[in-house]
Amino acid sequence: MKQKLNISNYIVLLAATAFFVFPLIAAFEFSLRSNQGKSHDWSNYQWILHEPGFRTNLGVSMRLALLTAVAVLVLMVPTIVYLHLGGARWKRLVEFVCLVPLVVPVISFALGVGTAFPTFLQSTVYELSFLYVIISLPYTYRALDVGLSSIPLLTLVEASRASGATMRQTLVFVVIPTIRSAVNGAVFLAVALSLGEFTLAVLLHWDTFPTWIANVSQGHILNAIALSVLSLVGAWVVVMIFALAPKSLRSSKSQEATS
């Protein structure tokens, strides 16, 4: 698959690298400034660690992400498995429904939620998780659908049922381990989305990690920049570890051997 790159390809890649790396370096340099830009040290980063808001708000976002991921799996895996088995005639409809969140701008959605939801739902920050499930639908549906299309699902389910497993056992112990990489992809998307989402959180007046960064910037712009660099680099490192890990860690090979 590897082909020779010509000179214009190199120019494009070089320009792209410069365009994406240079602002990041500049932001990093800026976040190290102290004393009105006279010297450089880590004080802006140390401030973050000592600020109690950092831990509480990151905690809220982490819990939201966890709940979103669980909700996505509980809702979507049985649904899509069924679409691949008995409910094939509804596949078009579900596919279409899952694309609707792409058409609705998040700000419009947030407005509707604000007026429509009863107070008991709006009194807890975890309402956001259910909304994150909705706005991640187009991506999670696709990830799981592609994963299920690539395995002999009917054979697996029939074999498992014939051996006396219930449908729930089949889902948890047979189907999910087989499409582990697709499940990982869907979970990863849901988690990334809930950790970075801003619009819904701010319009429904909740404090999450991204809205906290925006609040910090009001009084401590340097600390907000340090936080931004930290969260972007942090997310990038996690994804790179996933993407470049040796194949044995990424795929479901190791699980197959043990089960």
The tokens of 74 are what? 């509980």
Task: Select 165 or 192, whichever has its Cβ closest to another protein.
Answer: 192
Nearer to another protein by Cβ, of 19 and 258: the residue is 19
CB of 133 to another protein, least distance (A): 7
Q: Which is nearer to another protein, 37 or 164 (CB)?
A: 37
Minimum separation from the CB atom of position 215 to another protein (A): 10
Query: In terms of CB distance, is 125 or 134 closer to another protein?
Result: 134
We find the least distance from the C-beta atom of residue 20 to another protein, in angstroms, to be 7
Q: Which residue, 92 or 253, has its beta carbon nearer to another protein?
A: 92
CB of 38 to another protein, least distance (A): 12
Q: How far is the CB of 258 from another protein (least distance, A)?
A: 26
